[in-house]
Amino acid sequence: MTFYKKKKNVEQLAGFVIQGKEDKVYLLKNALYGLKQAPRAWYDRIDDYLTGSDFQKSLSKATLYVKKINNDILIISLYVDDLLVTGSTIQQVGELKQKMVQVFEMIDLGLMRFFLGMEIMQNK
């Protein structure tokens, strides 16, 4: 077992502190994205959030989620670690993005221009 001098803002986890070595932590050899389980862990987390927010998962496409609000609809498609969000109204899409940014670290890339090698033209 090898310990390394701890870096700034890194702490041993509560319940796992080793007496006499409180100033040392383990060195990770792989970042989260380097782990084989990372995509599955991310998918499970986003799936829990969306299904808990009343989105229905498509029976034929596991990465497609739909939420009906009165006569309006919100649609989310997951592609690797990106979300494609569309809906009946810009207001509902904006509200969804505001809620999600409180839970997930994310940025809005704006209107989609390319998807799976296709150029997308959007208009009102």
Task: Report the distance separating Cα 19 and Cα 17, nearest Å.
Answer: 6
* pLDDT score recorded for residue 74: 93
Task: Give residue 36's pLDDT.
Answer: 63
Whether 8 shows a pLDDT value over 90: the answer reads: no
Which pLDDT tens digit goes with each residue over 33-58?
555 666 777 788 889 999 999 999 99
pTM (predicted TM-score): 0.63
Q: How far is CA 107 from CA 52, 100, 104, in A?
A: 22, 10, 9
